[in-house]
Structure formats: structure tokens, C-alpha cells
Amino acid sequence: MRRHLILLLVFLSAITVRATRKEIRINDNWQFRFSWQVQKNSERRVDLPHTWNAQDALSGKQDYYRGTGNYRKLLAVGENLKGKRLYLRFEGVNTVANVFINQKHLGEHRGGYGAFVFDITEFVDYGKENEVLVRVNNSLHLDVMPLVGDFNFYGGIYRDVYLIVTDEQHISLTDFASPGVYLVQDSVSKEKADVTARVMLSNFADARAATLTLNVLDGTKNIFSERKEIQLPNGKNTAKEIGFSLQKPQLWNGKKNPFCYQVEIILSVNGETKDRVVQPLGLRYYRVDADKGFFLNGEYLKLKGVCRHQDRAEIGNALHPAHHEEDMDIILEMGTNAMRLAHYPQASYFYDLADKNGLIVWAEIPFVGPGGYAEQGYVNQLHFRENGKQQLIELIRQHYNHPSICMWGLYNELKTEGDSPEDYIAELNALAHREDPTRPTVAASFLDDANPLIKHSDLIAWNKYYGWYGGSFSDMGTWADRIHGRFPQYKIAISEYGAGASIYHQQEDVKAGEASGWWHPENWQTAYHIGNWKAINERPFIWGSFIWNLFDFGAAHRTEGDRPGINDKGLVTFDRKVKKDAFYFYKANWNTEEPFVYIANRRHTRRTTTETTVMVFSNRPEAELWVNDKNIGKQNADAYATIAWKNVSLQKGRNKIEVKSYLSDNKNIIDSVEWFNE
């Protein structure tokens, strides 16, 4: 620990008076204890990201620890940093964080999914080690969203923490923890883009003249520059604007071409650079038509999406970049072009990955209703309403410049019993449009289509589970046609649809499991998605659909499937090691670039019938089946990338099943399994 402090002190001492901002990640070597551990030497070392619920919540313990944990770190601050401004930036702490420097209270942040920043300049002792203490509480607070949810409320400092050093004049860090630069796309077309850069500035010195320089970069090439002389008053979060236009701009065009310019903002005083911030500029225009769906840059785009929770096995929500990258690779492999990041703001790095890979993103605040559970998602009290507004502002300002984000989500599965949230949702909708007039709002409902809640967002979507929580697959199309006919003005999407599945639950017949029980057969999930996707795909007025869920996720209160504590509706297992059959159904339909064949029902390895159906998912037009080295023949794929051989005979004992598809270069792609016929 002492060596770490010396190295950090040397690093900070190397920052010269003329340097612009420095961002130093300070994730390692924190001391952690629970609030009830008051004895000396009860702390233990942890490195961030960290949650204290990785074990108890994921074991299915419904009363997993929801209370207070203390994180302490010694931070060396050199004498040479006098005259600088020092900030601590927390990317995510769940749920309420109180921050202390040298036992003096800096402030409190309420909300578990947005970033926040504290100015520590006046609280540190220069030339010494300073104690940073963060008291984190993840218990239920009736004045903090969310109040309830079908997911775990992991406690801890589960995202990165930074020490940021700036000059006294700098681009603001404390405007709701935004980057301090908003690139407002006033008007975008293939011919011209008009953009306003709104820059928030802070000055802790005397008022003086300053210069703002804006550069638009295409890779390393500077394609546009603008300078503006300004007066920089003393104070925080002073707004200045620079407008500019680009002729025949290159557009951010989803997965086809996720191109981004980079906009560099430089603040200088008397020719000396004081600060510099770079933000992405992905120029695009889009609209949603109630009859024809979603259009990006004038072209129709069916949004084929997934929902994603930010946790995984063994580590809870304390994810590292490699975890986000693995998730994104799986999303791209399936051919997905859209994501609903539910039910809260997720890591900035994941939005960065969405930008770079051209995915359309629905980002939302954690205004979560109870769904089919007890409790309420809304309490009509001033502090709760104000907290929701704060979290909405944080979401929009922190992620304003991500071109992937095309809609702001206002709520999920709220009810109107008790305190009705209708008026409050209308307030949130108006606030979202004041903060960002360029993007529409959206909401996820499970209420009747005549409920007044659904009228208070620009777009509306429903969570529908026909074939899992009652009903049949065909009900999806029937429902969609009815609501579109009854309310033709609604811009309709499916925000959730899915069915549970365990890779250990296999059966010969395709029969439904019990949604709230212990039997979740994998082949029923496959049949569910085939039936529901057909209904969605055949209706262009459904502008988007979002599978619930891409990955299994932690929900301690669930007692179903093959073990407690897991919602197993994912197409991929919680540890990301196994992609279920339904994953490959979508890959065959959505990913046309990577030829493959996949034998479904492959984990049903012990069979009791002498005849079976061999079902294959493939993005190839045809495939050939071999059973025990005997050629059974070729079959063509149907309109939904499915190939089936019926009444295939199996011999007693071991059976080798092999499927081949031949490519134009005389190569073939093969998948094979072994089934044992008892």
C-alpha cells in the first residue's frame, strides 16, 4: 500500500503548471468493511469495480444484504497541485453515496446508475495522504428510484472512480457529471448538417477574456475549425455556444457504417491551453412512422433488438471492460441491430461500444413498476419525484453525444393503482424534451391499450409474453393487429418478449413448462421465439422488438427453472458460456454474413423414440443430413431459416448426427452431435 501511495504521489507531482486535465483511475487498494463491522482491523482490501452482493444475491438469498458498506482509500496529493482543481468522479455507486475527505462530509448522491462528481479542492491537505471515505447504502429508499424491480440491487462502488486534475479555468465537470460539451444536431440531412456545440465552463480565478476553439476531426484529419473569443466570468457552469455546418456530411448509418467525427473543444487563456475535451459526433436523422416503422437516414430499418442487464455470474454488476466487450461480441454475432438497456443507465463504455458498432439504443431511467409483484413503483412524494427528474437529467446530459441513443425511456411496467404516476410521467416527458428536443421518448407498458399512461410518451411499447405467461404464440399477431387498428396513431414496439429455458431441461415433445415452476424446457423457449418472431416480423408497423433477455440474469426472489435466484429467459447462460438453441434461430435469421449450420435440440442427448425430427437453423439456403454416416438427403430452408427432416430413424445406442452445407468455393460447413437412443 505504501509503495502504491509513493507511485501515485510521484505521478501527480509530474503534472506541470501548464498541463491540461489529467484523469487518473483510482480503482485499486480500497479498504472495505460493512457498517456493522466497527472493530479495528475489520477492513479488507478490495479493488474496484466491487459489489458486496456477488455471493449472497446470486445464491438466491432473497434477503441479501441491503445496507451500508464503507470504502476507504488513502490518496496522496502533492504540493505542486496547489492552484489546480481536483475532482472525484464516480461512474456508478448503488444506491446512495456519501463522500468524505479527511472525515469532512463532501456531499451525497442519490441514485445507483448515473455518474456523479465532487470538487475536493478545498478539502484536501497538500503534500499529505488524504483519506477518502465513501459510505454506500443499497437499502430501499422511498425517495430514490427504483423502488422495486425484477433484478438484483447490488450494493457497492461497482464502476470506475477517477481523480481528475484541471486548471482553474476548465470545461465543467459538475454539470450533472456530463462531459461539459453538448453537440446539438439542429438539422441533419445527406446534404448538410447544422450543429451547435454548447460548452459549459468553470472559472475559479478572476474574470478574463478567453478563447474557445472547435475542431472537427475525421480520423486524424482536421476538416473544420472555428474560434470564438469569449468573456469567462468567475463561477461554475457558464454556457457558451459555437455553431457550425458541414456540407455533404458522412452520416452515422447504423451497422452499415457507424462513422463518427470527433469534435475537439479547447479552452485557452492568453494563448495557453487550459483544457481540452473530445466528444463523438455521429450525424444521423431518423423518424418513426405509425404504419411503416423506423427509418434511419431515410431508409427503413426493422429494429431487431435485445434487452440487456449489466450483471453476470460470480461478479454481479462489478463489470470490467472485457465483460462489456464479450457481451457486445455476442450481440453482434446474433445479428442484432438494436438494444434496450434495461432498466437503468448502463456503463458509458457500453454506449461507446454501441456507437462504434452501429446499434440503435433505447436508454432509460430506473422508473420501474412492480409488474406482477407486490410493492409499488411510484410514491407520490416530492423527494421521489425530484429524484426521478435528477436521474433523467443525469441520463440525458451524461450520454447526450452518443449517436447510438435514439430514444429516452421514461418507465417500465408502472401501474395506476394507489398513487397514479400519470401526471408525473407527463412531467418527465416534458423534462426530457426540454433537455433534448432532438430525441423522442418511449415507455414500456404492460397495461391495457386504453390506459392513460401510454399517452405520455412519443413512442410506446409493450411487454408481451404470449405462450409463457398464458396464451399462445398466435396471440402476439392478434393483439398487435387489434391495437394498431384501434389506435392507428400509436407508434408501437414490443419492449419485452421471452420464455425461460434451462440447458439441463430437455424433452422429446414440444410442451410448455411451468413459468413459475422448476421445469423450463429449452425446446419450448425455441418454439416460443419462432412463433413470436414470425408475428413480429410480418408486421412492419411494429417499429422494433426487444427480446427479454439476451443473457440470464440475477433475480434473488425468483424460485424457478433449474435453480433459485436466476431469471433464465436469456438466450445465453448467465456465465456467457452456452448459447441456447433460440440464440441460433435468431442468428440464422438476422446474421447473413457468417455462414453456419446449427443442430437444434442438441442437448437432448438421451432419447427414447426410434424416430425423431432433426431441426437445423442456418442462414444457408439448404443443408444435407447424415445419420450414422448414411446420407438422409438435402432439405431447403424455410422463410425463417429453419430446415427440418422428419421421421428420421435412430438405431439403438449411439447415433452420430451430422449436417453439412456446401459453399461456393468447394468448402463446407458442418455441425454434428451424438444422441443415445435407449
Domain assignment of residue 290, yes or no:
no
Domain assignment of residue 288, yes or no:
no
pTM (2 d.p.): 0.94
Return the half-sphere exposure (C-beta side, CA atoms, 13 A cut-off) of residue 578: 14
CA–CA dist 614, 628 (Å, integer): 13
Domain assignment of residue 286, yes or no:
no
pLDDT for 18 beyond 50: no
In terms of domains, do 246 and 385 share one?
no
pLDDT for 402 beyond 90: yes
Average pLDDT over residues 370-376: 78
Domain containing 653 equals: 598-677
Nearest 5°: CA angle at 332, between 330 and 336? 110
Q: Over the stretch 47-94, which tens digit does the pLDDT of each residue have?
A: 999 999 999 999 999 999 999 999 999 999 999 999 999 999 999 999
pLDDT for 7 beyond 50: no
In terms of domains, do 222 and 246 share one?
yes
Domain assignment of residue 292, yes or no:
no
Considering only CA atoms, which of 643, 649, 656 is closest in space to residue 609? 649
| Annotated catalytic residue within 91, 394, 413, 624 | 413
Residue 251 gets which letter from DSSP?
A: P
Domain assignment of residue 294, yes or no:
no
With cut-offs at 50, 70 and 90, classify the pLDDT of residue 448: confident
In terms of domains, do 510 and 375 share one?
yes
Average pLDDT over residues 83-107: 97
CA–CA dist 71, 86 (Å, integer): 20
With cut-offs at 50, 70 and 90, classify the pLDDT of residue 636: very high
CA–CA dist 151, 307 (Å, integer): 13
Last-in-domain residue among 226, 251, 281: 281
In terms of domains, do 366 and 409 share one?
yes
In terms of domains, do 156 and 222 share one?
no
In terms of domains, do 89 and 59 share one?
yes
In terms of domains, do 610 and 586 share one?
no
Q: What is the predicted pLDDT for the residue at 613?
A: 96
CA–CA dist 149, 556 (Å, integer): 11
Domain assignment of residue 175, yes or no:
no
The length of the chain is: 678
Q: What is the predicted pLDDT for the residue at 370?
A: 81
Q: What is the predicted pLDDT for the residue at 417?
A: 86
Rounded to the nearest integer, the mean pLDDT of the chain is 94
CATH number at residue 616: 2.60.40.10
> What 3-state DSSP class applies to 279?
strand
In terms of domains, do 449 and 310 share one?
yes
Average pLDDT over residues 8-23: 53
CATH number at residue 336: 3.20.20.80
With cut-offs at 50, 70 and 90, classify the pLDDT of residue 495: very high
pLDDT for 373 beyond 90: no
Domain assignment of residue 289, yes or no:
no
In terms of domains, do 532 and 651 share one?
no
* Span between the terminal Cα atoms of the chain, in Å: 62
Q: What is the predicted pLDDT for the residue at 9?
A: 44
Q: Over the stretch 457-494, which tens digit does the pLDDT of each residue have?
A: 999 999 999 999 999 999 999 999 999 999 999 999 99
> What is the number of domains present in the chain?
4
Share of the chain above pLDDT 70, in %: 97
With cut-offs at 50, 70 and 90, classify the pLDDT of residue 503: very high
Torsion, Cα of 110, 116, 122, 126 (10° steps) = 120
Q: What is the predicted pLDDT for the residue at 525?
A: 98
With cut-offs at 50, 70 and 90, classify the pLDDT of residue 6: very low
Measured CA to CA in angstroms, residue 149 lies from 153, 180, 234, 371 at distances of 8, 32, 44, 8
Q: Over the stretch 518-544, which tens digit does the pLDDT of each residue have?
A: 999 999 999 999 999 999 999 999 999
CATH number at residue 77: 2.60.120.260
Measured CA to CA in angstroms, residue 300 lies from 253, 283, 339, 442 at distances of 12, 17, 17, 19
Return the half-sphere exposure (C-beta side, CA atoms, 13 A cut-off) of residue 544: 32
Q: What is the predicted pLDDT for the residue at 451?
A: 86
Last-in-domain residue among 144, 170, 196: 170
Q: What is the predicted pLDDT for the residue at 665?
A: 75
Last-in-domain residue among 542, 558, 590: 590
Asked if 413 is an active-site residue, the reply is yes
In terms of domains, do 445 and 574 share one?
yes
Average pLDDT over residues 164-178: 97
Query: E strands, 167-290, where?
Result: 169-171, 181-188, 192-203, 208-218, 221-232, 235-247, 252-253, 257-258, 261-269, 272-281, 286-289
In terms of domains, do 347 and 480 share one?
yes
Domain assignment of residue 164, yes or no:
yes
pLDDT for 600 beyond 80: yes
Contacts of 453 (CB under 8 A, 6+ apart): 411, 414, 416, 421, 422, 425, 443, 445, 447
In terms of domains, do 189 and 257 share one?
yes
